[in-house]
Amino acid sequence: MIPLLLRDIRLSVRAGGGALIGVLFFMTVVAVIPFGVGPDLNLLSRIGPAILWIGALLAALLGLDRLFQAEREDGSLDLLLMQETPLVLTVLVKCLAHWIATGLPLVIAAPLLGLFMNMDEVAIGATTLTLLAGTPAITFIGAAGAAIAVALPRGGLLVSILVLPLAIPVLIFGVSAVHAAIEDPAPFLPPFLILVAINLFFAVIGPVAAAAALRLSSD
């Protein structure tokens, strides 16, 4: 499984890979928000965590459609399906590679964008931490959508439409954990632990659903 992980990471950082695009999209989306709401620093620092989360959510969805589509186009998907290794495990590893290449850079870029949003240290730390815990969940559940849309021509947009509603809980608990960290009376841990639980739950249900969809859509 390590070779598959390394291959996928290598593919996404190679020329033409999607690793850079996701972060760039994240930066652009977040940078455009102030042009819409105005450069009021107090307002920006209040909505900053939510903006970062929405931006990261959209950026994480961006490259997902290529997760299995690229494998299908060059015939690799057939060979991955035939192997003795459980398909669920293959999908899980592909998700991990995808997250390392596209999700982790978002987490790393988040503190920088937090500065743009005039967020204080606690808010930046909390946002980064929740993104670290939450973005894998988006990838896992997104893999199911990507597997369902793999056989469709131009599945890219469809993946986003399929996955966004499923990712709403991640967004809710991610942002509310950050707000709990900033505003004293509310405790940080309960929403954060729910977020982690969602992550673990999706880590199971996403690959299982994706593997089933891939088997069924093979033709």
Which residues contact another protein by CB under 8 A? Answer: 2-4, 6-7, 10-11, 14-17, 20-21, 24, 27-28, 31, 34-35, 38-41, 44, 73-76, 78-79, 81-84, 115-116, 118, 218-219
Which of 54/81 has CB closer to another protein? 81
Sign of CA dihedral 141, 88, 99, 15: negative
Which of 31/204 has CB closer to another protein? 31
We find the least distance from the C-beta atom of residue 183 to another protein, in angstroms, to be 20
Sign of CA dihedral 143, 148, 153, 159: negative
We find the least distance from the C-beta atom of residue 73 to another protein, in angstroms, to be 8
Which of 88/164 has CB closer to another protein? 88
Nearest to 8 by CA among 92, 83, 86, 73: 92
We find the least distance from the C-beta atom of residue 58 to another protein, in angstroms, to be 16
Which of 52/198 has CB closer to another protein? 52
Quote the CA–CA distance of 49 and 1 in Å, as a whole number: 36
We find the least distance from the C-beta atom of residue 67 to another protein, in angstroms, to be 14
DSSP-assigned letters across all residues of 175-216:
HHHHHHHHSSSS-SHHHHHHHHHHHHHHHHHHHHHHHHHHHH
We find the least distance from the C-beta atom of residue 10 to another protein, in angstroms, to be 7
Which of 183/219 has CB closer to another protein? 219
Question: With contact defined as beta carbons under 8 Å apart, do 177 and 191 qualify?
Answer: yes
For the purposes of burial, counting CB atoms within 10 Å of the CB of 191, is it exposed (0-12), middle (13-18) or buried (19 or more)? buried
Count helices and strands (H / E) in the chain.
11, 0
Which of 41/122 has CB closer to another protein? 41
We find the least distance from the C-beta atom of residue 95 to another protein, in angstroms, to be 17
Question: With contact defined as beta carbons under 8 Å apart, do 198 and 136 qualify?
Answer: no
